[in-house]
Amino acid sequence: MATIELDAASATTQAAPPAHSARFFSEGDGHAVLLLHGLSSSPLELRYLARYLQKEGFTVCAPVIEGYSAGSPVQTMEQWVEGAVREYDALAARYERVSVCGLSIGGALALRVIRERPSAQSLVLLSLTLAYDGWAIPWYRFVLDLAYYTPLRHRYSYREAEPFGLRNEALRSKIARAMQRNAFSEVGPSTISLPALHEALRLGRSARKHLDAVENDALIVHAIDDETSSPRNPRYVIDHLGSAFLRTVWLDDSYHMITSDNEREIVARETALFLRESEVARGSQDAQSQPVVSKALARRLRQLASVGRSKT
């Protein structure tokens, strides 16, 4: 995120994403993963992670949420939460376990879903954003929320600029060209309306509350050089979360869009490993319902078990 600009389009309607970035669903085993993308974006930014989890045997659902995803008029953050909870409930009605994973503002949304549905298997927070406070965010960012209460909210939008959440220079150049040609790219929209930003800030404030009541297994993955969301965001959650099984992975070769940047393989691998370990930790396996585990994950689990025995 970088500059504010006058937008001829209505500030309450987001740019429509490409047709191939619609809802993603893949049937797998009894562990379903609800993937929540970032603000005014689409499942396209979670494509690599979704495909990786699919190959590892998980059931994967990356929905389009009315009023939150690109292509629909902005709704309130309460409606975003309601839409995400409906998606969760649809999965919970069909599958034994449901975990919730959110990217960026989608992480704040995931925290709210978990609060509404504490029976969720586990929680994954990627580039968690509770406040826009990264090094690329301009000092006048606080003006954006104030502008919402003026007529400017119908005329102005926030235009994305380099580095577009990407440390990978080749991919960044590709995204820059896409942003010039279209209103949308694989890492999100070129502009975000003030109403959407206002609701995102409200969601971030709401997600900070009652974190001690969240006892679900949790994985937090964040880039130390995140230009949009500083490490203060995940550290706040780490300090207040009630989870007994909490893992944190810090990345040093990525910016905000960690599901697309240099370390996307690490993000996907650690997410899959964590979700399977959560199954083991929760004792959710039985003779009739063994999880599908790749050979690599099985080796890692055996290594961890060996380390645990050596320490006892």
CB 186 within 8 A of CB 219: no
CB 197 within 8 A of CB 157: no
Q: How far apart are CA 295 and CA 301, in angstroms?
A: 10
The strand pairing partners of 221, in sequence order, are 126, 249
Give the global pTM.
Answer: 0.81
Give the tens place of pLDDT for each residue, 149-189. 676 666 666 666 567 677 877 877 776 666 666 655 565 55
Q: How far apart are CA 103 and CA 257, in angstroms?
A: 8
Q: What is the CATH number of domain 3-311?
A: 3.40.50.1820
Give the tens place of pLDDT for each residue, 24-52. 999 999 999 999 999 988 999 999 999 99
Tell me which long-range contacts 135-141 makes (C-beta under 8 A, separation of at least 24): 135/225, 135/227, 135/230, 136/1, 136/2, 136/163, 136/227, 136/228, 137/1, 137/227, 137/228, 138/2, 138/3
Give the tens place of pLDDT for each residue, 81-127. 999 999 999 999 999 999 999 999 999 999 999 999 999 999 999 99
